[in-house]
Structure 1
Amino acid sequence: MTHRLPPAESLTVEFKSDRKRLPDAELVEAVVCLANAEGGELWLGVEDDGTVTGLHLEHALLAGLPGLVLARTSPALTVQVDSVDIGGVRVARIAVPKGQTEIATASGVYLRRRIKHDGTPECAPMLPHDRASRQAHLGLTDTSAQAVAGAMLADFDPLERERLRQAVQQYGGDRVLLELDDEALDGALGFTARQPDGTRTPTLCGLLLIGREAALRELVPTHEFAFQVLEREAVRFNEFRRFPLLKALDWLETNFRPYNPEEELQVGLFRVPVPLVDLASFREAVANALIHRDYHRLGAVHVRLDDAGLTVSNPGGLVDGVTLANLLTTEPRPRNRTLADAMKRIGLVERSGRGVDTIYRGMLKFGRPAPDYGRTDASNVVLRLPTEAADLEFRRLVVEEERRRSSELPIDSLIALAALRELKRVSADELAARIQRDAASAKRTLEALTEAGLVEAHGNARGRSYTLSAAVYGASGNKAGYTRQAGFAPIQHEQMVLNYARQHGQIRRAEVMELCRLSEGQAKDLIKKLKGRGVLVQHGERRAAYYTAAT
């Protein structure tokens, strides 16, 4: 395999000069630093600015480097070393895997790679809270289940216990919880941990849900949240709080409601509310931020409404195994499992763990753009819900279809309809990227919508594409839109190609595709048909081929 030198250092790329022979200790520390982040490549023999200066003579025999790293890391880390020739200068590329726990040098040094505020990488010491955070990120520990040093049962607030019981009733939680006394409830929800001497100590989960505010301030200093409203850069609301989570969610929703106007849509005999932000999405987004934040790191959960939308952000990036490319399909991997389970049993978040679906549904069913997680990085999860004007006809379509089914549309079907509304025409491959599944799953979704009469298929299996159906376009009063998207009858395609060839002297396959809005396979079939009838003549072969109208 040929390896290319990256253009610059990054979170996963480190350059190390070897002109004066890089000491073994520094080499091992650089490897540990990468392993405790996302893994990556250590290029030995390259200066910080990317200048290639080559290996020191004592590092010319690369066979010993993997053994050196293996012997001087704990737990032992296996790396792959390759010799790379760059412009006649030999350097070493050391591929470092992502550590599945914290990695130290044999002398007990813990380091991690991170990005500084100016966007450049650095190697920084891993402090105790960094190590605990890493364990939680990898799913090796559950911080919310651990006893909090210095906490006592008296730090629990009876009023918050009562709020919890009311929440179970209000949100349809696990009603078994209502039958338990305080001690049994604490055990069922993981609010306390039993000590060796038999006493019970509050856990982080317990303090966060039913702790007194004073105790939270003292014992959980990382817990903080803010609600901000900005209007044309003017600050209309900006307050920070440290309430326990049930009170926090009530407070946030109460203060958000005045800024969340709604209109009504008449669908048959029913009036359907159309809010600026769907409240189910709001609750799920805010609860997720409070539940899944990294409680080892300082920084508030921010809930901010501005002219463009609602943004919810929390300290701590996505946990290991969850990426922007699999948010919709991966199995739930909560950073704070005990806290997440407690919130599910109370009924405050999606019981299945598919809260992201709820957030997507609350956006797409109103014809608004999908939730935007694009600003998420290794340090923060940032969710943006655009507050564009709702598409009322699209909302009507969704309501009527769900009433016909007596159930909600599957989230993949809702994403498909939203994609067709936006793009007008999609293929199974194009939809697959949006639903984060394979093309076969996307095709099943589109075919099911076709059977329901909401979508129409065009073309053969190889070049099959889909549009919203004539009935859907007609219901919205946009019959011309259907005609434009559905395209023309085959006889019209033939005439268009021949007219183009006569007017311009020739036509190529790409021009047939663009002119008739056909896939490559469909264009090939059309050209083959016209050639077979002798009305189109081919000149040249393959990529150089073009066609003229027969005289």
Structure 2
Amino acid sequence: MIPTKETLSVEFKSDRKTLGESIIVDEVVALSNSEGGDLYIGVEDDGEITGAQPAHRDPIQVAAMVANKTVPPVSVRAETLAEKFPVMHIEVPRSRSIVATSNGRILRRRIKSDGTPESVPMYPYEIATRLSDLGRLDYSAQPVVDATCDDFDPLELARLRRLVQTSRGGDRALLELTDDELERALKLTTRVGEKDAPTLAGLLMIGKAESLERLVPTHEAVFQVLEGTDIRANESYRQPLLYTIEDIIARVEPWNPVTEVQIGLLSQPTPLYDRRALREAVVNAFGHRDYSVLGRVRVQMDDAGLLVNNPGGFIEGISVRNLLSAEPQGRNPCLMDALKRVGLAERTGRGIDRIYEGSLLYGRPLPDYSASNQTMVSLFIERSEPDAEFVRLLAEERNRGAELPLQSLLVLDALKRSRRCGIAELSEMVDIQHQRLRRTVELLCEAGLVEASGVGQNRSYMLSKKVYGHGGKAKEYVRQTDIDRVRYPELIMKLARQQGRVTASDVRELLHLPDGDAAYYELKKLKEHGELTLVKKGPRSFYVPVKK
């Protein structure tokens, strides 16, 4: 039950000489301020079990001591592991806030260069980052020390008004406000004493470049274009966000060629990178980055694709696996709200949906966030040509008045990649809640885009003949249906073993066969192979598995 070595979430403490309570509390605080974990008292650093002293063998007493000496109190679960030498195991939960010892020490866990863990002090900037990750602090809404409204650039304020007026999602009501009223409405300023002071969001959006360099040194971005090892573009930015975002998007355009996809008598221009998805990716990088740490937003285009990186990992509750289903939330709500009302970001807070749609609508590979970690969010969009036949299929569905939602596109993409799978396999591949996924698949079956076979747990899905035929892949469709027929004996025998018997009507319903003769044919083959035995003849006949 005791691990063999220390990790970021596992700490060993020797108790040969009675361990001080302050050391135990320090380790609990460090674990709680990180990912939570387990503290073992009576285990050496190399994993040797030497046992805890009698003073540390009472779980109730240890848990009470930890709660009394932590602020806010940490509720741990303590137990004595009775082996040759008793060990005190303390299970530490991950805190939803910043935890300190009763004497004011704040610590966290980290991995040293040799790969072993240690507990170290948590510095002020790390506290801000931690609270931001937990959704307890909006860093962008805080007033900036030493900043005044003179640090705002009138030209950037004019740019903001222009964006509101020209952007499709801009909040037109903002145009009727005076400059001071507009700044307060967007929370670009906040009241400090008897005067308005710029917030971090305000400086980031409309601050002067020299003021940003002086007051917000963490604000920096770079745009790069690489062809092989040759650098075609390398532009650094220390200007306010509105200018930076517009300029980066404008610089991407010459490197974003358009392909014409013929749909009937018309042709549809299809850019290499969907423009709405590109804008959302860039805006999200600036809107969700961690401005309390050094680093820069990087937008890079190369032969492989488009890469967008920003400092600061996913916040609490968000991961690569639940990006599409998690409740929309961000690290800088004040800044993102301003970007939405200006018209640069998706007003619904579902910009991630736009990024995925930008690939799915053209049959391209899904956006890849797998390189993201605790300190960085990394988005990679692969460079690939559009699937022209898939684009035509979606255009036909739109012409019929059946606009496919994102969930349907995700299911079609998953079936295109995996060929055939059941609900359980689809649930592992797509980020959709189980009940909604089942409903989405059945609606695609009704629309003729997906075909189903089997019933219950044996029910599986594949792209329909209509989809394969549209892409000129009739052979692949036939191959898939043949694979299905190969599985007929396996499915029949599985049903027979579960029920103890099987009839022709059972087989017909299970395999969606056209008539009873086909079902009798499958049962006859299994009988000839010695897998089933016919128990009774006539209309009430049934078969039972042969015991081996």
Match of 1:40 among 37, 41, 50: 37
Contact 2:223 2:300 in 1 (8 A): yes
Distance 1:206 1:98 in 2: 33
Q: Which residue of 2 aligns with 1:188?
A: 185
Decide whether aligned partners of structure 1 residues 73 and 270 sit closer, same or farther in structure 2, where only a CA change above 3 A counts.
same
Decide whether aligned partners of structure 1 residues 48 and 403 sit closer, same or farther in structure 2, where only a CA change above 3 A counts.
farther
Question: What TM-score comes out, normalization by structure 1 length?
Answer: 0.87
Q: Which residue of 2 aligns with 1:334?
A: 330
2:78 partner SS:
strand
**Displacement after TM superposition at 1:434 (Å):** 3.2
Q: Which residue of 2 aligns with 1:77?
A: 74
**Displacement after TM superposition at 1:117 (Å):** 5.8
Contact 2:218 2:292 in 1 (8 A): yes
Q: What whole-Å deviation, never above 9, does each CA across 1:10-49 have from its counterpart, x for those lacking one?
A: 3322222223333221111111001111211112222333
Match of 1:398 among 394, 399, 419: 394
**Displacement after TM superposition at 1:106 (Å):** 0.8
Q: Which residue of 2 aligns with 1:380?
A: 376
Q: Which residue of 1 aligns with 2:213?
A: 217
Amino acid in structure 2 at the alignment position of 1:126? M
Distance 1:117 1:369 in 2: 37
Amino acid in structure 1 at the alignment position of 2:416? R
Distance 2:520 2:86 in 1: 53
Decide whether aligned partners of structure 1 residues 5 and 400 sit closer, same or farther in structure 2, where only a CA change above 3 A counts.
farther
Decide whether aligned partners of structure 1 residues 68 and 528 sit closer, same or farther in structure 2, where only a CA change above 3 A counts.
farther
Contact 1:527 1:536 in 2 (8 A): no
Is 1:537 the counterpart of 2:523? The answer is no
Bigger mean CA offset, 456-465 vs 231-240? 231-240
Decide whether aligned partners of structure 1 residues 444 and 383 sit closer, same or farther in structure 2, where only a CA change above 3 A counts.
same
Contact 2:489 2:522 in 1 (8 A): no
Contact 1:458 1:486 in 2 (8 A): no
Contact 1:531 1:537 in 2 (8 A): no
Is 1:28 the counterpart of 2:28? The answer is no
Amino acid in structure 2 at the alignment position of 1:537? G
Q: What whole-Å deviation, never above 9, does each CA across 1:261-281 have from its counterpart, x for those lacking one?
A: 221111123322222222211
Amino acid in structure 1 at the alignment position of 2:199? T
Show structure 1 runs of 5+ residues with no match: 499-507, 510-517
Contact 1:428 1:440 in 2 (8 A): no
Decide whether aligned partners of structure 1 residues 495 and 169 sit closer, same or farther in structure 2, where only a CA change above 3 A counts.
same
Distance 1:539 1:70 in 2: 65
Contact 2:407 2:432 in 1 (8 A): no
Q: Which residue of 2 aligns with 1:285?
A: 281
**Displacement after TM superposition at 1:116 (Å):** 4.6
Amino acid in structure 2 at the alignment position of 1:38? E
Q: What whole-Å deviation, never above 9, does each CA across 1:397-453 have from its counterpart, x for those lacking one?
A: 22332333264x211101011111111112222222333234322121111111112
Q: Which residue of 1 aligns with 2:456?
A: 461
Distance 1:420 1:497 in 2: 21
Match of 1:249 among 245, 248, 252: 245
Contact 1:46 1:52 in 2 (8 A): yes
Contact 1:455 1:466 in 2 (8 A): yes
Contact 2:107 2:120 in 1 (8 A): yes
Q: Which residue of 2 aligns with 1:93?
A: 89
Contact 2:138 2:331 in 1 (8 A): yes
Match of 1:349 among 345, 348, 357: 345
Distance 1:214 1:494 in 2: 72
**Displacement after TM superposition at 1:396 (Å):** 2.2
Distance 1:117 1:526 in 2: 66
Distance 1:496 1:32 in 2: 55
Distance 2:103 2:401 in 1: 65
Is 1:60 the counterpart of 2:53? The answer is no
Amino acid in structure 1 at the alignment position of 2:290? D
Decide whether aligned partners of structure 1 residues 488 and 244 sit closer, same or farther in structure 2, where only a CA change above 3 A counts.
closer
Distance 1:188 1:496 in 2: 65
Distance 2:71 2:307 in 1: 41
Distance 1:495 1:337 in 2: 57
Q: What whole-Å deviation, never above 9, does each CA across 1:354-396 have from its counterpart, x for those lacking one?
A: 1111111111222222111112221111111122333222222
Q: What whole-Å deviation, never above 9, does each CA across 1:90-114 have from its counterpart, x for those lacking one?
A: 3222111111211011110111113
Amino acid in structure 2 at the alignment position of 1:382? S
Bigger mean CA offset, 332-341 vs 225-234? 225-234
Amino acid in structure 2 at the alignment position of 1:275? P
1:283 partner SS:
helix
Decide whether aligned partners of structure 1 residues 131 and 548 sit closer, same or farther in structure 2, where only a CA change above 3 A counts.
closer
2:86 partner SS:
strand
Amino acid in structure 2 at the alignment position of 1:304? Q
| Cα RMSD for the two superposed structures | 3.0
Distance 1:384 1:451 in 2: 34
**Displacement after TM superposition at 1:533 (Å):** 7.7
Q: What whole-Å deviation, never above 9, does each CA across 1:154-209 have from its counterpart, x for those lacking one?
A: 11111111111121223221111111110111111001101222x11111111111
Distance 2:26 2:484 in 1: 67
Contact 1:530 1:536 in 2 (8 A): no
Amino acid in structure 2 at the alignment position of 1:461? G
Bigger mean CA offset, 214-223 vs 56-65? 56-65
Contact 1:537 1:547 in 2 (8 A): yes
Amino acid in structure 1 at the alignment position of 2:320? L
Q: Which residue of 2 aligns with 1:430?
A: 425
Distance 1:328 1:494 in 2: 36
Q: Within 5 A, what are the aligned runs for 1:123-522?
A: 123-172=119-168, 173-197=170-194, 199-405=195-401, 407=403, 409-487=404-482
Distance 2:482 2:417 in 1: 17
Question: What TM-score comes out, normalization by structure 2 length?
Answer: 0.87
Give % identity.
Answer: 44
1:537 partner SS:
coil
Decide whether aligned partners of structure 1 residues 6 and 236 sit closer, same or farther in structure 2, where only a CA change above 3 A counts.
farther
Amino acid in structure 1 at the alignment position of 2:428? A
Decide whether aligned partners of structure 1 residues 533 and 393 sit closer, same or farther in structure 2, where only a CA change above 3 A counts.
closer
Distance 1:444 1:247 in 2: 44
Decide whether aligned partners of structure 1 residues 117 and 389 sit closer, same or farther in structure 2, where only a CA change above 3 A counts.
farther
Q: Which residue of 1 aligns with 2:118?
A: 122
**Displacement after TM superposition at 1:131 (Å):** 1.2
Decide whether aligned partners of structure 1 residues 364 and 47 sit closer, same or farther in structure 2, where only a CA change above 3 A counts.
farther
Amino acid in structure 1 at the alignment position of 2:436? S
**Displacement after TM superposition at 1:250 (Å):** 1.0
Contact 1:208 1:245 in 2 (8 A): yes
Contact 2:41 2:88 in 1 (8 A): yes
Show structure 2 runs of 5+ residues with no match: 499-506, 513-517, 534-543
Size of the aligned set, in residue pairs, is 518
Bigger mean CA offset, 375-384 vs 111-120? 111-120
Bigger mean CA offset, 349-358 vs 7-16? 7-16
